[in-house]
């Protein structure tokens, strides 16, 4: 099975990085999260309810809907915060990318460790711009807002293709497909990583941080 890959590019001001990333990541995860599964005796299951809430951006003229889950929001903010710090501190031209990868676990027999097989990867390439005048900043607020609107339309288009999704798992397999660690929602297993490129185009700080949500597998 091939892993499908989607790439989005945005140009933002430094202070807009976090909100822009959160808007994109949350929109993807909205589509890739279900309610909590509750398995019943006969092998059937029922699904909990996913709530949503609107988030207004402070530095961008933009509002997006995200899953109502504080845990999920915290996890994303942490990842995005690290990405932003890495971008700012790298001393580079301010080009980097952050990736959200959905994967399935495939249990292997001892002594081999479990495999992680990605089935969908979303990559956001970020180009940080520096603006001097207040007027430029105001225009940037609006422009980035419009860009994000376009990006979200693109995301929804991809989601609508109804391409490969992991099969709904049995109770024993559910942790190989979904992240069941959150208390209110159940996203597909995912990991976030990022990469900063310097002005020469080579990957100086290849900081591959893996925020693995299923570290229990250790």
> Smallest gap, in angstroms, from Cβ of residue 65 to another protein?
5
> Smallest gap, in angstroms, from Cβ of residue 168 to another protein?
8
Query: In sequence order, which residues have a C-beta less than 8 Å from that of residue 13 and are 6 or more positions away?
Result: 59, 128, 129, 130, 131, 137, 140, 144
> Smallest gap, in angstroms, from Cβ of residue 185 to another protein?
5
Kindly tell me which of 42 and 109 has the beta carbon lying closer to another protein. Answer: 42
CA-nearest of 12, 13, 200 to 91 is: 200
Query: In sequence order, which residues have a C-beta less than 8 Å from that of residue 204 and are 6 or more positions away?
Result: 90, 92, 196, 197, 198
> Smallest gap, in angstroms, from Cβ of residue 113 to another protein?
30
Q: Which residues lie near another protein (CB under 8 A)?
A: 27, 30-31, 34-36, 38, 46-58, 61, 63-65, 67-70, 148-149, 152-153, 155-157, 159-160, 162, 183-185
Kindly tell me which of 160 and 172 has the beta carbon lying closer to another protein. Answer: 160
CA 20 – CA 145 distance, rounded (Å): 9
CA-nearest of 21, 17, 25 to 59 is: 17
CA-nearest of 83, 123, 129 to 101 is: 123
> Smallest gap, in angstroms, from Cβ of residue 128 to another protein?
21
Kindly tell me which of 9 and 150 has the beta carbon lying closer to another protein. Answer: 150
> Smallest gap, in angstroms, from Cβ of residue 212 to another protein?
22
| Distance between first and last Cα of the chain | 26
Q: Which residue has the tokens 């279900």?
A: 34
Kindly tell me which of 43 and 111 has the beta carbon lying closer to another protein. Answer: 43
Kindly tell me which of 12 and 182 has the beta carbon lying closer to another protein. Answer: 182
Query: In sequence order, which residues have a C-beta less than 8 Å from that of residue 51 and are 6 or more positions away?
Result: 67, 68
Kindly tell me which of 94 and 187 has the beta carbon lying closer to another protein. Answer: 187
Residue 49 near residue 35 (C-beta atoms within 8 A) = yes
């Amino acid at each position: 099975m091939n892993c499908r890959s989607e790439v989005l590019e945005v140009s933002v001001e430094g202070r807009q990085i976090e909100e822009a990333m959160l808007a994109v990541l949350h929109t993807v995860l909205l589509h890739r999260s279900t309610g909590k599964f509750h398995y019943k005796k006969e092998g059937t299951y029922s699904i909990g309810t996913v709530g949503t809430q609107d988030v207004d951006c402070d530095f961008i003229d933009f509002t997006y809907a995200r899953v109502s889950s504080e845990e999920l929001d915290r996890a994303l903010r942490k990842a995005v915060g690290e990405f932003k710090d890495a971008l700012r501190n790298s001393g580079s031209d301010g080009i980097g990318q952050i990736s959200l990868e959905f994967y399935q676990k495939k249990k292997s027999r001892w002594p081999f460790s479990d495999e992680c097989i990605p089935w969908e990867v979303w990559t956001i390439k970020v180009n940080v711009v520096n603006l001097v005048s207040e007027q430029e900043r105001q225009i940037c607020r609006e422009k980035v807002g419009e860009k994000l609107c376009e990006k979200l339309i693109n995301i929804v288009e991809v989601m609508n293709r109804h391409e490969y999704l992991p099969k709904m798992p049995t109770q024993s397999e559910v942790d190989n497909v979904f992240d069941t660690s959150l208390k209110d929602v159940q996203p597909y297993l995912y990991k976030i990583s990022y990469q900063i490129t310097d002005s020469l185009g080579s990957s100086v700080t290849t900081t591959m941080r893996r925020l693995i949500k299923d570290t229990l597998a250790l």
